[in-house]
């Protein structure tokens, strides 16, 4: 009797502990840096902490962000870009160098809490046509060997972030899941290696892309609030594509003998511009639904425990490739300047808060001058030029600035260029077509931006303790180099202006 009570008590305690551990779980996010004007890393780290993010994924070992993450209490996953796979695959010493410079160094010198190294980024995407197929697994092995040699293999785990197209289902149901036939063997080698090293598999899942790729995709199936057309798989009824997709992977793993392989969702999110389905309303609906699941620790029918889920992404990236679509530059929970796009309830019911301490350039914009004619023959060339060097993706079909009249459309392009060029006077001198104004030209949802001011960060002296090292690896050196580089870029951007 007493024993039974004890057992009951133990169970209750265990339950409380486990459920508490799940509820207290923080949030994870991808911090991408493909921006012409990335927010200062210290501001971003505060933004992460203010919003309860305690895990972050970087696509590269970027020195600024890594240093800022030191002693922040935030756990870090560092990516190795695909371009590096060949060299790391071909030589253990290249892997050792990478680990020394990009992992050991940041742990020991800066106190960065590095937990994962992500080897490659979606290396098996079909669009790469097998380019990284031979190098991904050997690179993974070499990085693991290097981590062991550095004495870090217990603390830092390897993983490979894969696109969800590495698995598929012949039946259209999750239970039909298996790895794609052209990479089946490669996947088994990788998964088996990860299992032997107590490391997780990382998968990126994008319901938005399902909708983008197929106009007949049922919209409500992309979200988390139920659907009229559930996918019925034996006893399980799937009401959202995320669960069905994730469980397709679980089935694929199970079928190949890896039923308990831990999974991380490496990227998932919804963009807010650049496509008719990329808007604030859908993004809020998707991300809030997802966050609620994360906060409740909700898993899927096949895997009741919630995986770590890294949202994509933190901040908009205005120089990200738009080859997949204009929406690529608008995945952020925050705009380029760390302002909030839409309200979101995060961990503990706290509402999302913006970045603090962001500095802006002057409150002025570059617009078409009233005296210029909208039919001026120089306009197409000038607009094309502006949009080649600055981000005009908000002007396209289905985007926030698509409804503008022609003159405002041109003004938007000129202003984007002017702001991206740090409001240099010459960047608003399109052969008398343009002028600078202090009147905000924003209309409705279409924001005419003012660029953030990064100059103080670049010209102010670095903190005394981080002065330039004799070997030139200090913060100051990088700062100056970056400033020079930006200046060269601005001059280069402005050269052809004089040809109009």
Ligand X SMILES: *[C@@H]1O[C@H](CO)[C@@H](O)[C@H](O)[C@H]1NC(C)=O
| Catalytic annotation, pick one of 62, 122, 243, 317 | 122
* Smallest separation (angstroms) from ligand X to the CB of 413: 6
Choice from 188, 344, 387, 494 touching ligand X (CB under 6 A): 387
* Smallest separation (angstroms) from ligand X to the CB of 279: 17
Decide: is 436 part of the binding site for ligand X (CB under 6 A): no
Give residues 401-430 in contact with ligand X (rule: CB under 6 A).
Answer: 402, 404, 406, 409, 413
Give residues 101-120 in contact with ligand X (rule: CB under 6 A).
Answer: 101-102
| Catalytic annotation, pick one of 62, 96, 243, 267 | 267
Residue 96 annotated in active site = no
Choice from 46, 431, 442, 443 touching ligand X (CB under 6 A): 431
Q: Toward ligand X, which CB reaches closer, 61 or 295?
A: 61
Decide: is 90 part of the binding site for ligand X (CB under 6 A): no
Residue 281 annotated in active site = no
Binding segment (CB under 6 A) for ligand X, from list 41-49, 226-234, 392-400, 414-422: 392-400
Decide: is 432 part of the binding site for ligand X (CB under 6 A): yes
Decide: is 469 part of the binding site for ligand X (CB under 6 A): yes
Choice from 21, 473, 485, 492 touching ligand X (CB under 6 A): 473
Decide: is 396 part of the binding site for ligand X (CB under 6 A): yes
Give residues 229-288 in contact with ligand X (rule: CB under 6 A).
Answer: none
Three state DSSP letters for the chain = CHHHHHHHHHHHHHHHHHHHHHHCCCEEEEECCCCCCCCCHHHHHHHHHHCCEEEEEECCCCHHHHHHHCCCCCEEEEEECHHHHHHHHHCHHHHHHHHHHHHHHHHHHHCCEEEEEEECCCCCCHHHCCCCCCCHHHHHHHHHHHHHHCCCCCCCEEECEEEHHHEEECCCCHHHEEECHHHHHHHHHHHHHHHHCCCCEEEECCHHHHHHHCCCCCHHHHCCCCCCCCEEECCEEECCHHHHHHHHHHHHHHHCCCCCCCEEEEEECCCCCCECCECHHHHHHHHHHHHHHHHHCECCCCCCECCEEEECCCECCCCCCCCCCHHHHHCCCECCCCCECCCCECHHHCECCCCCCCCECCCCEEEECCCCCCCCCCHHHHHHHHHHHCCCHHHCCCCCCCCCCHHHHHHHHHHHHHHHCCCCHHHHCCCCCEEEECCCCCECCECCCCCECCHHHHHCCCCHHHCCCCCCCCHHHHHHHHHHHHHHHHHHHHHHHHHC
Decide: is 16 part of the binding site for ligand X (CB under 6 A): no
Q: Toward ligand X, which CB reaches closer, 115 or 180?
A: 115
Choice from 60, 254, 376, 453 touching ligand X (CB under 6 A): 60
Binding segment (CB under 6 A) for ligand X, from list 307-315, 331-339, 399-407, 486-494: 399-407
* Smallest separation (angstroms) from ligand X to the CB of 397: 6
* Smallest separation (angstroms) from ligand X to the CB of 386: 9
Q: Toward ligand X, which CB reaches closer, 322 or 358?
A: 322
Binding segment (CB under 6 A) for ligand X, from list 96-104, 127-135, 225-233, 354-362: 96-104
> Which residues are catalytic, by number?
122, 267
Q: Which residues bind ligand X (CB under 6 A)?
A: 60-61, 97-98, 101-102, 383, 387, 392, 395-396, 402, 404, 406, 409, 413, 431-432, 469, 471, 473
């Amino acid at each position: 009797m007493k024993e039974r009570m004890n057992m009951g008590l133990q169970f209750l305690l265990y339950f409380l502990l486990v459920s508490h551990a799940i509820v207290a779980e923080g949030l994870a996010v991808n911090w991408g840096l493909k921006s012409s004007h990335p927010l200062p890393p210290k501001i971003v780290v505060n933004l992460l902490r203010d919003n309860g993010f305690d895990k972050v994924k970087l696509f590269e070992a970027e020195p600024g962000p890594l240093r800022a993450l030191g002693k922040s209490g935030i756990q870090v996953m560092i990516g190795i870009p695909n371009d590096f796979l060949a060299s790391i695959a071909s030589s253990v010493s290249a892997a050792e160098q990478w680990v020394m410079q990009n992992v050991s160094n940041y742990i020991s010198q800066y106190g960065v809490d590095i937990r994962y190294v992500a080897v490659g980024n979606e290396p098996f995407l079909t669009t790469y046509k097998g380019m990284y197929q031979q190098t991904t697994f050997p690179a993974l092995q070499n990085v693991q060997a290097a981590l062991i040699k550095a004495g870090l293999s217990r603390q830092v785990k390897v993983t490979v972030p894969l696109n969800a197209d590495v698995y598929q289902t012949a039946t259209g149901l999750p239970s039909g899941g298996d790895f794609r036939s052209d990479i089946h063997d490669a996947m088994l080698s990788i998964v088996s290696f990860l299992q032997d090293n107590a490391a997780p598999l990382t998968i990126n899942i994008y319901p938005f892309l399902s909708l983008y790729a197929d106009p007949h995709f049922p919209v409500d199936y992309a979200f988390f609030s139920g659907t009229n057309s559930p996918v019925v798989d034996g006893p399980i009824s799937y009401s959202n594509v995320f669960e069905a997709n994730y469980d397709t992977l679980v089935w694929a793993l199970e079928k190949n003998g890896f039923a308990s392989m831990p999974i991380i969702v490496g990227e998932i999110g919804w963009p807010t511009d650049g496509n008719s389905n990329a808007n604030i309303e859908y993004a809020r609906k998707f991300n809030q639904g997802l966050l609620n699941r994360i906060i409740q620790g909700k898993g899927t029918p096949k895997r009741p425990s919630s995986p770590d889920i890294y949202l994509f992404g933190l901040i908009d990236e205005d120089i990200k490739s738009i080859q997949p679509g204009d929406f690529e530059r608008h995945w952020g929970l925050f705009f380029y300047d760390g302002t909030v796009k839409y309200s979101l309830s995060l961990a503990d019911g706290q509402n999302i808060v913006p970045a603090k301490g962001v500095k802006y350039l002057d409150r002025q914009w570059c617009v078409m001058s009233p005296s210029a004619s909208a039919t001026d023959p120089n306009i197409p060339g000038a607009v094309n030029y502006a949009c080649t060097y600055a981000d005009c993706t908000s002007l396209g079909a289905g985007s926030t600035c698509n409804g503008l009249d022609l003159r405002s459309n041109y003004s938007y392009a000129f202003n984007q260029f002017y702001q991206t060029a740090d409001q240099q006077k010459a960047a608003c001198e399109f052969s008398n077509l343009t002028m600078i104004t202090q009147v905000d030209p924003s209309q409705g949802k279409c924001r005419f931006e003012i660029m953030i001011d990064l100059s103080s960060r670049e010209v102010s002296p670095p903190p005394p303790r981080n002065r330039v090292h004799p070997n030139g690896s200090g913060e100051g050196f990088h700062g100056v180099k970056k400033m020079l580089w930006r200046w060269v870029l601005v001059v280069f951007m402005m050269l052809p202006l004089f040809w109009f």
